[in-house]
Amino acid sequence: MDVKAVNSWIKRWVDKMQEDLVRLVKTASGVDELADIYQQNKHLYTVEANNARQLVESAARDIEKLLSNRSTALVFV
């Protein structure tokens, strides 16, 4: 075998290994099934813009409230 033939064979082998690996990962992860489930049920979903600042502020308030309640509970224990 000459060098070009060997390089061509190696490239085909690597491409096949890559295809097999991608197929294995997709099967093991269930990503295709998730995509199918989404496609079947996408009429149930909506995509809406959100206000990131408002979400962070709301989460911060909730965390502060939780910590305050926990501190109060610990005082009475």
Q: How far apart are the first and last CA of the chain?
A: 81
CA atoms within 13 A on the CB side of 61: 6
Mean pLDDT score, 16-41:
91
Mean pLDDT score, 11-40:
92
Which phi and psi (to 5°) does residue 45 adopt? Answer: -110, 150
pTM over 0.85: no
Mean pLDDT computed over every residue of the chain: 90
Would you place residue 73 in the very low, low, confident or very high pLDDT band (cuts 50, 70, 90)? confident
Which pLDDT belongs to residue 26? 86
Which stretches of the chain are assigned E, i.e. beta strand? none
With a pLDDT cut of 70, the percent of the chain lying above it is 97
Instruction: Round to whole Å and give the CA distance between 77 and 75.
Output: 6
| Residue ranges of domains in the chain | 3-75
Largest CA distance in the chain: 83
